[in-house]
Amino acid sequence: MPGPEDYDAGPFVPVGADLQGLRDAAAGCRGCPLFREATRTVFGSGEASARVVLVGEQPGDQEDRKGEPFVGPAGGVLTRALAEAGIDPAEAYVTNAVKHFKFERQERGKRRIHKAPTLHEISACRPWLASELRLIGPEVVVALGATAGKSLLGSSFRVTQQRGVPLVLPPDGDGEAGGTLVATIHPSAVLRADAAARAGAYAGLIADLGVAARLLDDGSR
């Protein structure tokens, strides 16, 4: 029986597809077991012309139900922070490192609680993210949180140590140029912070996104 080391979405990724083709194909992905419990695949949202791609961890409960990324409370935080940092949310492409909601049930099975994906699950889903980035070719990629950073930079990534500075995004498996990456916390970390720390966490998110905004400004000159 295949083990976690065999998880791989690669065989489900169509060659030469556009974003809509990728989205359609991802709906049938069986590259790891997460599809079994999730309601649906939640693919990225935005235009192929986007200059910045925002990569989160995985869909949450509301995203899983609605089929779109960042439509829950964390998405609201992200939208506000982007605007305050000088990035038009409507011009960004948003996606996740893992395309299915991983959760555990509580309260007699009624409540679904987020559960962090494993490195095997992150690696399995990497072909989808690589295909999105290859098609879009963004000037800047923003990694929102540790899972996104590990998907893009490897398991040694630490968001607390590498946030808020321009990093080199490694080439993908086909040798395509990686570009520039800026890491920051996931907006859900702002929501999880206690009242005393929440303002500082939000200000830090805006500051990190401001680094990405300045890179975009420099690229448009």
Cα(173)–Cα(6) distance, integer angstroms: 18
Largest CA distance in the chain: 57
CATH architecture under which domain 4-219 falls? 3-Layer(aba) Sandwich (3.40)
Q: Extract the tokens encoding 219.
A: 């690229």
Closest to 206 in 3D by CA, of 119, 100, 87: 87
pTM here?
A: 0.94
Domain range list for the chain: 4-219
Looking at residue 105, its pLDDT comes to 86
Q: What are 141-171's pLDDT values in tens digits?
A: 999 999 999 999 999 999 999 999 999 998 8
List, for residues 32-59, the tens digit of each pLDDT value.
999 999 999 999 999 999 999 999 999 9
Tally of CB atoms within 10 A around 87: 22
What tokens were used for 142?
A: 């923003």
